[in-house]
Amino acid sequence: MTIGGDSAIWVATREGAFRSTDSGHHFMHVQGGLPSDVKYIAYDDAGKRLLATSSSSADVYQSSDDGERWSVVTQSSYPVQAVVPAAGKLFVTTSHDGVIAQPDREQHAAGGGGN
């Protein structure tokens, strides 16, 4: 679960991502390119975007428009558990012994981040 930039509540479930804009009274199923089995969802305050992972994919997904459209921001060779953005990199935890640090292409393309 995470709180988005617009104060919406986001929940990751095996049936997909759900969003509530009324303090959790009602939830709406969100798709827009996101797989149906969402494992992890987080809000990246610096990048003003949502990040998500899926049980069926090694990709990390992002949405910069409050979950309307999702796209792949980075790919891993291992099943991804969670993702944390920091210092221009995406730190991805995997179920195979470790953490992968990859350049955050979106932050570099926007001129953010560093080496």
Q: What is the pLDDT of residues 42-57, one digit of tens each?
A: 999 989 999 999 988 8
- Read off the pLDDT of each residue in 107-114 and give the average, rounded to a whole number: 44
Across the beta sheet with 9-13, the strand order is: 2-3, 9-13, 16-20, 28-30
User: Does residue 89 lie within any of the structural domains?
Assistant: yes
Domain assignment present for residue 71? The answer is yes
26 lies in which domain range? 2-109
Task: State the Cα–Cα distance between residues 55 and 58, nearest whole angstrom.
Answer: 8
> How far is the C-alpha of 22 from the C-alpha of 5, rounded, in Å?
14
DSSP-H helix ranges across the chain: 105-109
Whether residue 114 is contained in a domain is answered as: no
Q: What is the CATH number of the domain that holds 91?
A: 2.120.10.30
Residue 115 resides in a domain:
no
92, part of any domain? yes
How far apart, in Å, are the Cα atoms of 105 and each of 14, 41, 47, 48, 73?
27, 19, 11, 14, 7
Residue 70 · residue 34 · CB < 8 Å: yes
In a domain, 103, yes or no: yes
Of 96, 87, 75, the residue nearest 47 (C-alpha): 87
Inside any domain, residue 33: yes
104 in a structural domain: yes
Given pLDDT bands bounded at 50, 70 and 90, which one contains residue 20?
very high
Q: How many domains does the chain have?
A: 1
Q: What is the percent of the chain with per-residue pLDDT over 90, rounded to a whole number?
A: 54
